[in-house]
Amino acid sequence: MQSRTCIAMATCIPAGSGTLQFTVTNCKGNSCRKTALVSDAPIARFLRKDLSWSKAVSKVPQTHRCAFSAASLGKNHKLFKVISSCKVDGHTRCFDFSVIGSGIAGLRYALEVAKYGSVAVITKAESHECNTNYAQGGISAVLCPSDSVESHMKDTIVAGAYLCDEESVRVVCTEGPERVKELIAMGASFDHGEDGNLHLMREGGHSHHRIVHAADMTGKEIERALLEAVINNPNIFVFEHHFAIDLLTCQDGSDIICLGVDTLNTKTLEVIRFLSKVTLLASGGAGHIYPKTTNPLVATGDGIAMAHRAQAVISNMEFVQFHPTALADEGLPIKPTKLREKAFLISEAVRGDGGILYNLSMERFMLMYDERAELAPRDVVARSIDDQLKKRGEKYVLLDISHKPKEEILSHFPNISATCLQHGLDITRHPIPVVPAAHYMCGGVQAGLQGETNVKALYVAGEVACTGLHGANRLASNSLLEALVFARRAVQPSVDCMKSSNLDLTASNLWPRPTVPLSNITDKILSMTKESRTELQTIMWNYVGIVRSTMRLETAKQKIGKLETKWEECLFQHGWKPTMAGLEICEMRNLFCCAKLVINSALSRHESRGLHYTVDFPHLEESKRLPTIIFPSSTVNSTWSSRQLHKQHQIVSQHI
């Protein structure tokens, strides 16, 4: 059966109700009684046509902001109780804050909230293995006197095909410079010019030089500085190799509340439950729904899928950004000996620094598509390259920077130069073979201006979030900036929510624990899962790529539906249970979920805007300049990828 979702333009879903009693025990062994709500009735749905984009979360009638009755943020830490890290049992840990993800958004947030409580940073692999670490270009911010916030806003909105939320854009562009200065104060080292000022690059879609960078390894430098600060912070506990399985949610009247997350320690194969008053989801994107992506292997859409299963609102998933210039291995003098796990990115800054795109006949082609040529926004450049490849039957195009001084090339792009040289290509003398690759999800979990979601105590920041900043297409180097700004904006409401929380964090037995299957079960299904993953990626690339059509999208929906059914049948025939957890199987579950969200969103948009281009509706339609919003419907008869492993509990919180 296909998973069922409700898709609409700026609409929302209320929840049901019922009652149940239960008893829980806190860290000190004290017992308390609370009232819970239980309902098996399907979720009711309704539409609101007057819901504005950036305010959509806070205006939903059933969604209430955390009560800010406690004292405001300040230095007096005695104003509220801080729960230090403690074990309820061998497999349960309690924290004030849980952060899922160790990229720029998660770490920056953790460093701030650690001033007010204990923090668990939960990361899927090593702490540095995230999209941030591979970001080459830099951070865009207005730091030059000749630049302005208004100019940055205009560039962002134009690149976003006028679907951006203006309030979100203003917030990011205004607060961005201060967030960058904070990074520098924390020890992040960026390139400076001969005059001693920050060296600012210009990239596609930008009207000014405003890209702060550390050569072509900006993300790596930011991650280094943040991780160093995190390691030295006694209130932050980092849990590497902990894969997030599902969010722990319950229902309090009309509110859905997040109380933490179940994880799988992929080294010990133990299920570890994290209970927390506040959870930040900063788990990155879903690049691996495609076979060619610049994202690391960890980017399997886990956060978006978990949030969707937890009934969080999802928005704008049709807008998948394909970076125009990933290194095309087919064109290298010395081919890689094995298939890359992720495509190697050739930074936007190469074109910003004067790089020119040619087809294999050395004909410059971008001026045929856009007067901005190589400095056009990414969606335009990616479609132009795609058109050239299809018309000419070629596998890649060429990006040439060799006309620039050798010293300048090596200084600005040392990582790109060294990587290409390993494969026999000297970029100071020869053009670089490039091809588009899946790069960034502009959609995600819908967030308000403080990173809040429609699920209480659940905040989002970074690529997993859809804040309205990017609209239909992300402007180059705006992603790291957005992560910094929204991670910081989520701090105060998170702390206030933590202080006012009356929920007992030791309610560890409210949900049945996921189980880890015996190896004889997983051995039988891992090969099938690997084949299904490759097939799903191929379907997405062939039918839900840079240029789309209704027929191809419908074909993708049908093919993926059949593939998922076949995969699930294989799982359960070989002894898998719906409450079991394993890394590869749960990743596949999340990939299916995210792929369906992208397809359903794309089918609902009957126009071409930004990153979503369809031959059936090739023009912009002003009447359709609205976000695509997905709400979960009843999980009855839905697929495993669309359901939480545990049954959601309903409670009414009372003062202890």
Residues belonging to the active site = 378
Q: How far apart are CA 568 and CA 579, in angstroms?
A: 13
Asked if residue 351 lies in contact with residue 421, where contact means CB atoms within 8 angstroms, the answer is: no
Range 252-286 burial, b when 16+ CB lie within 10 A, else e: beebbbbbbbbbbbbeeeebbbbbbbbbbbbbbbb
Quick one: 232 exposed, middle or buried, by C-beta within 10 A (0-12, 13-18, 19+)?
exposed
Distance of CA 455 to the CA centre of its chain: 17
Q: How far apart are CA 170 and CA 485, in angstroms?
A: 11
Q: How far apart are CA 460 and CA 239, in angstroms?
A: 19
Structure-token match 């992300």, residue found: 474
Q: What is the DSSP string of 54-97?
A: TTHHHH-TT--PPP--SPPS-S-GGGS-----EEEETTEEEEEE
Q: How far apart are CA 157 and CA 92, in angstroms?
A: 45
Three-state SS string over 607-652 comes to: CCECCEEECCCCCCCHHHCCCEEEEECCCCCCCHHHCCCCCCEECE
Q: How far apart are CA 480 and CA 475, in angstroms?
A: 11
Quick one: 500 exposed, middle or buried, by C-beta within 10 A (0-12, 13-18, 19+)?
middle
The residue type of 15 is A
Structure-token match 């010293």, residue found: 407
The residue type of 527 is S
Q: How far apart are CA 38 and CA 651, in angstroms?
A: 8
